[in-house]
Amino acid sequence: MALPDSIKALGEQIDEGGEVAPAPELFEAYDVFAAELAQIFTQPWLAVDHASRLVADGDYVRADVGARSVVVVRESEDKIHALRNTCLHAGYRVCEAEAGNAEHLYCVYHGWSYALDGLLTDPLLRPQMTDRSRFRLPRYPLRIDRGLILVDLSQVAPEAPPAGPIELGALPDLGGRAVARRQSYKTTANWKRMRQFLWEQPGLVFGDGCDAVIELGPLSFVALRTGDAALLRLNPRFPAQCEIEVVELPSAGSAGIGDADPLGDALRDGNDAIAAAPLDRGFCEWYWRLMAPAA
């Protein structure tokens, strides 16, 4: 994919070492967003949620990144699949619910059904499709590690490609924890400005700082504070819209942040300022490192 001129111009500014001044198209243009989807949003790994989402057979959780959608579904304890959530019939999302439990996946648009491993089982009104073994929702590499559901959106195939390495560093095992709060926030900021804002102050999920941060790919991290943990995932939806998902995982006996919502308060008070904030040089250099291979 050829990079849009506005991205290449930013790269030239960085390479020349001069002033960095991103063009307005970098925050508004759909071709920029599409290039970012290919070069950044789909890079491994994305921390989708906590493993407690998948305790029973049939449990599933959906995660979206731009126009890309994945549904992680538990067929059995040792068979958990990350399926491309795109119907083989006409491309709509098979799972519209954000999470749930089902015996099979049913696309409401025209009634096609899939088994929990993605195999097409009932192509309604297409009885001529007798050999359905060749039709299945493609799969992404998946890991359940230290209590988190991790998906690699950079590879997809009929059989899940082997999962590559992942660096979890000092992340404690969060598997036995209960989720104290799961919240999503809608914002009208471009994802780059929101990422810069959140990654500069990851302790905002606790309100008063954190002890450590473990980054999981370009769009998710876990913040740690005195034993408590919070998973944050950025979900760019459109050039001028992104969502934030937070899963709070306090340690045993900790009350976590209780009823407080420091991140929500900061987003409500600061949305306009965040949506207009300039990108600093450090962010632009990080961005260009990821975009440059496509230049």
**Which residues of this chain interact with ligand FES, rule CB under 6 A?**
87, 89-90, 92, 107, 109-112
CB of 90 to ligand FES, least distance (A): 4
**What CA–CA distance (Å, rounded) separates 9 from 284?**
12
CA dihedral 169→40→119→109, nearest 10 degrees, is: 130
CB of 86 to ligand FES, least distance (A): 9
By beta-carbon proximity to ligand FES, the closer residue of 30 and 109 is 109
By beta-carbon proximity to ligand FES, the closer residue of 80 and 107 is 107
Q: DSSP strand E in 146-195: where?
A: 148-151, 181-187
Task: List the one residue out of 110, 85, 87 whose CA is nearest residue 100.
Answer: 85
By beta-carbon proximity to ligand FES, the closer residue of 93 and 182 is 93
By beta-carbon proximity to ligand FES, the closer residue of 87 and 142 is 87
**What CA–CA distance (Å, rounded) separates 51 from 176?**
9
CB of 89 to ligand FES, least distance (A): 3
Residue 201 CB-half CA count within 13 A? 14
By beta-carbon proximity to ligand FES, the closer residue of 93 and 146 is 93
CB of 107 to ligand FES, least distance (A): 3
Contacts of 3 (CB under 8 A, 6+ apart): 11, 35, 291, 294, 295
The answer to whether 184 and 49 have CB atoms below 8 angstroms apart is no
CB of 93 to ligand FES, least distance (A): 8
For the record, the structure tokens of 289 come out as 């490192």
**Which DSSP letter does residue 162 get?**
P
By beta-carbon proximity to ligand FES, the closer residue of 85 and 187 is 85
CB of 193 to ligand FES, least distance (A): 34
